[in-house]
Chain A
Amino acid sequence: MSAVISERPPIAARGWPRQRIIGYSLMGAWIAIGIALVFYLAISWNPALFERYAGTYMSGLGVTLTLVVISIVLGALLAAPLTYARMSSNPILSGFAYAYVYFFRGTPLLVQTFLIYYGLGSFRPQLEAVGLWMFFREAWYCAVLAFTLNTAAYQAEIFRGAIESVPRGQWEGSASLGLHRLQTLWTVILPQAAIVALRPFGNEVILMIKGSAIVAIITVYDLMGVTRLAYSRSFDFQTYIWAALIYLSVVELLRHGIEWIERRITIHLKR
């Protein structure tokens, strides 16, 4: 028995139903906030402030992006063996990888950064003895290390989920074609896993950009750091507004870029 379902487009409500009143007033509120913001930035426009800090903001943005790119790349390199360990049948290997991932995903990034920057400072004599003190003395290196270790844990989970999302039959099919396991992984599994991993990976990059603001607390002058500096010197609230606008545009740019890539690489799946 087949039911005949006629799909009709919903009839658009006319006049002023309650939802429309609420929607228009909320949009009106957003527009008012936007205009107020532009107005505020216009009346508090301060050429001296702009001249003094525009360059600083750009270098801060550069520091933020450098930090994120370095930690994402190093994190990916670290995540590969971690993913292997996590998926291996050796209980010691997989147990270690599980504990690593659990620790770094279960504690705040800020605490991990403090643990490395301030915490390892308590081992100064030992670190000096092995010549690593130069490294751990600098807030920048500590931030890179903390962010790399943190994102490696998240990326390992993303990679594992993506690889496990490829059906077993793909492995078996390649084995019956006589492909080596590494060949299978590289030519059959990873291209399919990459499509699944792209979105969470992009989200991880965005989370890192947003999370990188905390390095300002350990005196790295990233975008947030220079903003705090500018605010503490000028007590002008627009410093924070500018930072917010820059962060928002970077994140939005990235988000749309990822969506564009996703549309491109899933073109063969569209009907």
Chain B
Amino acid sequence: MQSAWTLLSWGSDGWLDDIAYGVFVTVCLALATLPLGLMMGFFIALAKQSNEASLRLAGNVYTTIFRGLPELLTLFLVYFGVQIGAQNLLRLFNPEATIEVNSFVSGMVALGVVFSSYASEVFLSAFRAIPPGQYEGGHALGLSRGRTMRLVILPQLIRIALPGLSNLWLILLKDTALVSAIGLSDILRQAGVAARVTKHAFMFFGVASLIYLVLAIVSSVGIGAIARSVGRREMAR
């Protein structure tokens, strides 16, 4: 019987290196999903606040679907659906071919889609908090619509949307645990493997939950720093 410290050491006897790899995968997945989700969420929010009714409707359909589906089901739909779709498409050209969809990319797309549908609501309420005079002021200065958006609206938007987005980031970090169900070696899967091999399930899942807690705390500190720097820029103006 090995001691808990041996099991948690680095190297061939311990599992720390495997779990560290899991942390790396989880963090990579969350960081890769973030820009995708933010960008999609921003454009969906733009659609939802447009004057054009059809554009609003299209945005709302997107949000309704992806906020209503369980994250795990979205993940499976993407993982198996894309695989089957790509397979059928490929069979048209080459009947022998098989295709394997990368679970990291599937996880990124599924989590990004869910993140973006929530983020679009955050951006939308931030858009509504910006008075129309800001757009008119930009127009009066002769800025084009794109430049008004980039130079006038966006800096204010980020400051208003930051608390909501940081909540979504923490949710995203927790949702990454779901990708262990499609076989990606994230924290939870590595801990699960260690638990099965060593029979110390409580210890390894406990370690996994503590790692998630530490990630959440580190993110809160980081978000606080970002919020302060955004706020300071606002004060200096």
> Do A and B make up one complex?
yes
Residues of A within 8 A of B (CB): 10, 13, 17, 19-20, 22-24, 26-27, 29-30, 102-103, 106-112, 114-115, 118-123, 209-214, 216-217, 224, 227-228, 231, 237, 240, 243-244, 247-248, 251-252, 255
Report whether B81 and A237 are in contact in the complex, using a CB–CB cutoff of 8 Å. Answer: yes
Contacts A/B (CB < 8 Å), 27 sampled: A20-B52, A23-B47, A26-B54, A26-B55, A107-B212, A107-B213, A108-B176, A108-B188, A111-B177, A111-B188, A111-B205, A111-B209, A111-B212, A114-B201, A114-B208, A115-B202, A122-B201, A123-B202, A214-B181, A217-B72, A224-B72, A231-B80, A240-B80, A244-B77, A248-B64, A248-B69, A251-B67
**Residue count of chain B within 8 Å CB distance of chain A:** 49
Residues of B within 8 A of A (CB): 47, 50-58, 61, 64-65, 67-73, 76-77, 80-81, 84, 170, 174-178, 180-181, 188, 192, 195, 199-203, 205-206, 208-209, 212-213, 216-217
Report whether B80 and A237 are in contact in the complex, using a CB–CB cutoff of 8 Å. Answer: yes
Report whether A210 and B70 are in contact in the complex, using a CB–CB cutoff of 8 Å. Answer: yes
Q: Which of A17, A106, A212, A252 touches B68 (beta carbons < 8 Å)?
A: A252
Q: Which of B64, B70, B188, B200 touches A252 (beta carbons < 8 Å)?
A: B64
By a CB distance below 8 angstroms, the chain B residues around A112 are 209
User: How far is A240 from B81 in the complex, measured between Cα atoms in Å?
Assistant: 9
By a CB distance below 8 angstroms, the chain B residues around A217 are 72, 181
Q: How many A-B contacts if CB must be within 8 Å?
A: 144
User: How far is A146 from B213 in the complex, measured between Cα atoms in Å?
Assistant: 17
Report whether A120 and B202 are in contact in the complex, using a CB–CB cutoff of 8 Å. Answer: yes
Q: Which of A23, A114, A210, A240 touches B188 (beta carbons < 8 Å)?
A: A114
Nearest-neighbor residue (CB-CB) of B188 within chain A: A111
